[in-house]
Structures are given as structure tokens and as C-alpha cells.
Amino acid sequence: MSRITTGKGQELYRKAKKVIPGGTQLLSKRPEIFLPDLWPAYYSKAKGCKIWDMDGREYIDVSYMGIGANVLGYANEQVDTAAKEAIDKGGMCTLNAPEEVYLAQKLIGLHPWAGGVRYAKCGGEAMALAARIARAHTKKDIILFCGYHGWHDWYLSANLSNKNALNDQHIAGLEPLGVPSGLAGTTLPFHYNRIDEFNALMEKHKGKVAAVVMEPIRNDYPADGFLEKIRKAATEAGVVLIFDEITAGFRLCAGGSHKVLGVEPDMAVFAKGLTNGYPLSAVIGRKEVMEAAQGTFISSTFYTERIAFAATLKSVELYEEHKVWEKQDEYGKMVQRGWKEKAGKHGLEIAIGGIRPLGHFSIIGSENGLVYKTFFVQEMLKRGYIASNAFYTSYAHSKEIVEGYLECVDEVFGRIAEIGNRGEWVEDHLQGKVCHSGFGRLN
């Protein structure tokens, strides 16, 4: 199979690194975490689950679909028409956009336990907003958390008192530079499904905990009533339970994954799973908790723009109309089964994780896991796929696309096995450097 030739995308990325520290605004989009020096890096067009790079080459996205933001697919016509209509009617105005009320009504309708909604633009920002409201409501400081929740001070401060706190929640070696040292000890981690760790923190900081922040589900299913136990402890202690539904929300049902899991939080936060690519995030919460937003100060001009509200209303309508989560589940099941079957066929050891719509795998062998990932990405790119060791399924995929993808997975896994069987190193078959590690998420 042909070698990958670098094109305009890599040329632009080299320029980007001179003017944008880190090259891009999102760690998960850095070309180095896919295929250093060889990744197409930029897109000229995206539609459905197809992507065209800067040189006009066409690919199928079987990786992150807008890093989890495009549940319906890229450039969805109905969603984009709603956005265009909002633009034509004025995307910004001195008066408020009515759609923000309609969306709040819709979100409360889907989550009847909630009585209030506030908006922001990004996931991490909405998490900071939720943390602020919970602290304002309880008049306490400490937040116990599990998993990844954005870049803001409340979260990164976890590494102030323990420099390893975020190692296995997010990324190893994060320096909390720029985070005021006075926040040390205000955000403390526990691990998913480790109720003993959670209980110990609750006991140690009795009377001082404002909130518990966690994704209700991501990699593993909750075990032994984990969520119920947390719910009970939070209720008894008057602690606000915040579910981060930024990525898992709208992937298992119409609304938060907690609806399927049967545990109601006091607040839930939605963002990229909700809006099909438009910049909007929502914090929903029990009425008495959300009232605290009035006592503190949370206010921003662009939180009021109309386009994202209009697009999101249409996205939610389409999720419900087409039961989009069922397709995500169906394709996710095919993908995870396929990985397992193809790995077994070629005698590769593989670890598979993630709920079906957000599956990922890693090959375990005598070389570093990142070598196998890089080789997989390289070989899939040659075959016309934007692939990684994860597959976020979307409504824009199809059974045929997943089948075609799995045929290529079969070939690439076969090659990895062949190389090993010949006593060679997969690393010697890389066209460029080994990829960098991206996010680690243990929950």
C-alpha cells in the first residue's frame, strides 16, 4: 500500500505552531496524538461522516466525530438550516433570543427533576459555572471529583496539594501553573467504582464538602450500587451531586445518561453531546440549587447569542425523532465486537473499553501501545479513514460503513500480527514518529 504524502495541512500546522502555542486550541486535535508530521491536520469540508482535507483528499471519520460533538454527523442539513434561519433573523440583539427559553423548557421537560437552566458556551466552562453555583448554594469550598471536567482553576487546582491528583483522572504530569495556590486542597479526587475512596474523603472533610462532580458513566458501568451510594451520601450530607453529561449525555437516551442509570443528580451539565457542533453548554439543576446563580455573578454577552440555541433545539428534536442513541449503540456494538473478533483472528491481545457509542481499544504486545496505535492510524489513513484507537459512533455512520471499516481493521490487525510473527518491530514499519499520548480517562 502507498506511502502517505504530507500536504497543505502539515504545511499550515507548521505555521500554526509559530503563532498558536501548542498549535491548536484542543489537545485532542493535536496532529501529534494521531500521526506526527503526517496527519492531514486541517479540513476543508466535512459532511455526514466524511472529511476532505486541504488537498481535497476524502476520508471517512471513524474516530471522534468532531471530538464527540457531532452526534448527527457533520453539516447536518436540518440543524444548519435552523442555524442559518437564526442568522437571517439576527444572531445577536439587545433583546434576548426566545430560543433560550424554549431550550430551557425542553431540557427541563426531559429531566423533570430539574427546575432551572443556565447556559455557557463550552463544556469546561459550564462545569466551572456548576462548581460556582454549588459552592454558592452550600457556602462550602471542597469539591470531590472523579474523571475529567475541563481546564478551569477549580479543576486544575487538584494538582496543587498533590501533583499526581490528575494523573489517572486526566493526564499525567500536569503543572497547575497560573492557578492560585490558595485553592490548594479545595478539589480532591476519587476513582470511579471506588466507594471506599469516596467515603473516606466524605468522612475526612465532613461538613466542608460543597459538591461531588463525576460522569455517571464513561468507560465502565457503575458496580455494586456505586451511583446510588454516592447519591445517598450526598443527600444525607447536603452535598450537591453534579453529573457531567458533556460527552455521555444524549448518547444512551434522550437526555442525560443518568436517566438510563436510574440515579438523579442535583445538577447536570451538557455540551458537545447536545448541540451537534454548535457552541453551547447547559447547566440544569434543582430549582433551589440553581437559585444560587442569582446570589453570585455569572453573566456573559455571548451566552445570549441565538444561533447555537436554534441549532441545539433542532438537534434535540432530531435526536428524539430518529432515536439517534439506538443507532449509536447498534454501531458501537458492531465496532467493539469487530475489534475483539479481528484481534482474536490474528492472535493479538486487545483491551476494549468505553460504553458502546464511545468505544476504544489498545493492543497489548511487546512494544509500547502507542507504537501499535500509530501504525493503526497510519495504515487506516492510507485506506481512506480518519481513524484512531477510539470510534465515537454517530447517526451519520451506517452498517455498511462500519462493515467496510472492520474489513480494513482486519487487514491492519493482520499486518501487525504478521510483523510480530516475523520477529520484526512494528515501530520499524512506521513512516514517521510514534504518536504522543493524549487524554487518559479512567472513569
Ligand X SMILES: Cc1ncc(COP(=O)(O)O)c(C=O)c1O
- Given the rule CB under 6 A, which residues bind ligand X? 122-124, 127, 148-150, 215, 244, 246-247, 271-272
Q: Alpha helices, DSSP H only, in 276-394?
A: 287-290, 292-295, 307-322, 324-345, 369-382
Q: Give dist(CA 180, CA 87) in Å, integer.
A: 40
Residue 133 and residue 283 in contact, taking contact as beta carbons nearer than 8 Å:
yes
Closest contact distance (angstroms) between CB of 240 and ligand X is: 17
Residue with smaller CB distance to ligand X, 33 or 434? 33
Closest contact distance (angstroms) between CB of 247 and ligand X is: 4
Query: In sequence order, which residues have a C-beta less than 8 Å from that of residue 357 and are 6 or more positions away?
Result: 251, 252, 325, 328, 329, 331, 332, 392, 393
Residue with smaller CB distance to ligand X, 28 or 167? 28
Closest contact distance (angstroms) between CB of 305 and ligand X is: 16
Residue indicated by cell numbers 454517530: 394
Residue indicated by cell numbers 497543505: 8
Query: Using the 8-state DSSP alphabet, how is residue 28 labeled?
Result: G
Residue 64 and residue 388 in contact, taking contact as beta carbons nearer than 8 Å:
yes
Closest contact distance (angstroms) between CB of 432 and ligand X is: 26
Residue 23 and residue 366 in contact, taking contact as beta carbons nearer than 8 Å:
no
Residue with smaller CB distance to ligand X, 149 or 251? 149
Residue with smaller CB distance to ligand X, 10 or 443? 443
Closest contact distance (angstroms) between CB of 201 and ligand X is: 20
Using Cβ positions, the residue closest to ligand X within the complex turns out to be: 123
Residue 359 and residue 33 in contact, taking contact as beta carbons nearer than 8 Å:
no
Closest contact distance (angstroms) between CB of 111 and ligand X is: 18
Closest contact distance (angstroms) between CB of 68 and ligand X is: 6
Residue with smaller CB distance to ligand X, 148 or 391? 148
Q: Give dist(CA 30, CA 13) in Å, integer.
A: 9
Residue with smaller CB distance to ligand X, 154 or 413? 154
Residue with smaller CB distance to ligand X, 216 or 338? 216
* Chain Cα centroid distance, residue 6: 28
